[in-house]
Amino acid sequence: MRTAETGIRILALSCPIAFVAALLAAAPGVGNAAELYEGKRVALVIGFKPGGTADADGRLIARHLPNHIPGNPAFVVRNMPGAGGIK
C-alpha cells in the first residue's frame, strides 16, 4: 500500500475527531458558550456518499454531539462525496 493512500485514510478517519476537538476547544474562549450555540444549526459535512461506514459514524456523532455542547445546537448532516473524501 502506498503512503499517500494511508495518509488519506488516516485523515478521513480523523476528520470527525478533529472537528469535535476544534468545536470544543473554541467554546471555552467565549464568555458564555451557551449563548454562542443556542438556536444555531451546525453542518456536519461527510466527504462520502450516504450509506457507508463514514456516513453512519457521522450521523451517530451528530446525534449525540448536541448533548455535549452548551446551547444544544442542532446538527445537520450533509454528504459531499468526491475525491475520496478530500473534497
pLDDT, one tens digit per residue, over 28-61 is: 555 677 788 888 888 888 888 899 898 999 999 9
Burial class (CB in 10 A: 0-12, 13-18, 19+), 79: middle
18 CA to centre of own chain: 8
pLDDT in tens, 6-36: 444 444 445 666 666 666 665 555 567 778 8
Query: CA 81, 21, 28: angle at the middle one, nearest 5?
Result: 135
For residue 74, give the amino acid letter. Answer: A
